[in-house]
């Protein structure tokens, strides 16, 4: 399956979703937020659990998770770490310890992991907010166009054309 066909498939799936535009948009925002955070093994489980608890669209939540994929993973993790380092470790940046023992390695992992998670939360907010408003706009626009088309068809079916020719 090529990339273009996959995108078209998910676009068609997205267009057919039922539910309020706000719930669909909240689902996408949640999925994007969780997708950007560095919690890869727990993305799907966490996002779908939160979608069920918050009663928002699990389908758009799942679609939003795909912002994190093998292509975007390394740059997003690096950015998340750098932002977390800027916020948390500005006075004492991480460095390899002089003595390797369990305590120094755990401290290194703790500080590095904390910087990664905090940075991930910070960088996840803007794309989540943007995806909410973009999804809301797309759903509302699509549904307005669909309603216009349906009204046009209804108007045509209620006013049949005058018969032309010998039957008239």
Distance, in Å, from the CA atom of 104 to the CA atom of 66, rounded to the nearest integer, reads: 35
13 part of a folded domain: yes
53 part of a folded domain: yes
Could you give the percent of the chain with pLDDT greater than 90?
38
Query: What dihedral angle (degrees, nearest 10) is formed by the CA atoms of 138, 144, 145, 147?
Result: 140
164 part of a folded domain: no
User: How many domains is the chain built from?
Assistant: 1
84 part of a folded domain: yes
The range of the structural domain enclosing residue 109 comes to: 3-139
* Predicted pLDDT at 5: 87
166 part of a folded domain: no
160 part of a folded domain: no
Q: What is the pTM of this model?
A: 0.78
100-132 residue pLDDT tens: 889 988 988 888 889 999 999 999 999 999 999
124 part of a folded domain: yes
Structure-token pair, residue 112 = 């590095």
Indicate whether 75 pLDDT > 80: yes
* Predicted pLDDT at 146: 85
150 part of a folded domain: no
* Predicted pLDDT at 141: 92
Structure-token pair, residue 49 = 């659990």
Distance, in Å, from the CA atom of 9 to the CA atom of 103, rounded to the nearest integer, reads: 50
């Amino acid at each position: 399956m090529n990339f273009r066909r996959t995108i078209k498939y998910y676009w068609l799936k997205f267009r057919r979703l039922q539910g309020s535009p706000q719930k669909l948009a909240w689902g996408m925002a949640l999925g994007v937020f969780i997708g950007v955070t560095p919690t890869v093994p727990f993305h799907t489980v966490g996002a779908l659990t939160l979608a069920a608890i918050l009663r928002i669209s699990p389908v758009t939540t799942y679609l939003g998770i795909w912002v994190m994929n093998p292509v975007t993973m390394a740059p997003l993790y690096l950015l998340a770490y750098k932002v977390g380092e800027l916020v948390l470790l500005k006075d004492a940046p991480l460095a390899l310890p002089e003595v390797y023992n369990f305590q120094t390695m755990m401290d290194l992992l703790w500080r590095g992991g904390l910087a990664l998670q905090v940075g991930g939360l910070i960088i996840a907010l803007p794309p989540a907010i943007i995806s909410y408003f973009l999804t809301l706009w797309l759903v509302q626009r699509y549904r307005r166009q669909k309603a216009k088309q349906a009204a046009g068809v209804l108007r045509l079916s209620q006013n049949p054309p005058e018969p032309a020719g010998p039957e008239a």
